[in-house]
Amino acid sequence: MIEVVGDEGHNMARVLVSGDSAAVLDVLCAEITGEGHEVIEAYDGQQAYEFALSERPDMMFLQVAMPVFDGYETCQMLRQDPDIPAGLPVILVVGAEVDPRKIEKVGATDMLAACHEVYEVRDLLAAHLTPDALTDVEA
């Protein structure tokens, strides 16, 4: 079942948030909806990948630690799928130990610490959900 959180009735981006930590998901969802965007929640890497195909989000946040496919695997699958726009921003939500080379290797757009400040999410949304960025994703 797809859980969509957001205000209906105004122009907003669709942001897919995926992970198995309820605490991290709840915080991210609140921050993203607080910025006026619609959130689609997925609870493992396979579900995130399937929702990326069916729901066509404008941006994705993937926790690295997820069941079925982890965030790295999911990101790599997204980047290899010709049905997923190459410009889709994929942000990996990482724990304390992170290898920036691995993030680059799987094609992630950026990363966000699981323990982050609200302004960091706001900055990522602003950077990747500009009108030009949204046009690139839709192409």
Cβ-proximal residues to 93 (8 Å cutoff; 6+ apart), any chain: 19, 24, 28, 61, 62, 63, 64, 71, 111, 112, 113, 114
132 pLDDT tier (thresholds 50, 70, 90): low
Query: What pTM was computed for the model?
Result: 0.84
Three-class SS state of 22: helix
Q: Which domains does the chain have, with CATH numbers?
A: 14-118 (3.40.50.2300)
Q: What is the C-alpha separation between 74 and 44, in angstroms, rounded? A: 9
Q: What is the C-alpha separation between 46 and 51, in angstroms, rounded? A: 9
1 pLDDT tier (thresholds 50, 70, 90): very low
Q: Rounded to whole angstroms, what are the CA distances from 120 to 34, 114, 117, 125, 127?
A: 13, 11, 6, 9, 11
Instruction: Locate 50 and state its tokens.
Output: 């399937």
115 pLDDT tier (thresholds 50, 70, 90): confident
| Higher-confidence position of 132 and 44 | 44
Three-class SS state of 76: helix
For residue range 70-108, list pLDDT tens digits in order: 999 999 999 999 999 999 999 999 987 788 888 889 999
Residue 8, sorted as left (phi over 0), alpha (psi -120 to 50) or beta, turns out to be beta
Three-class SS state of 101: helix
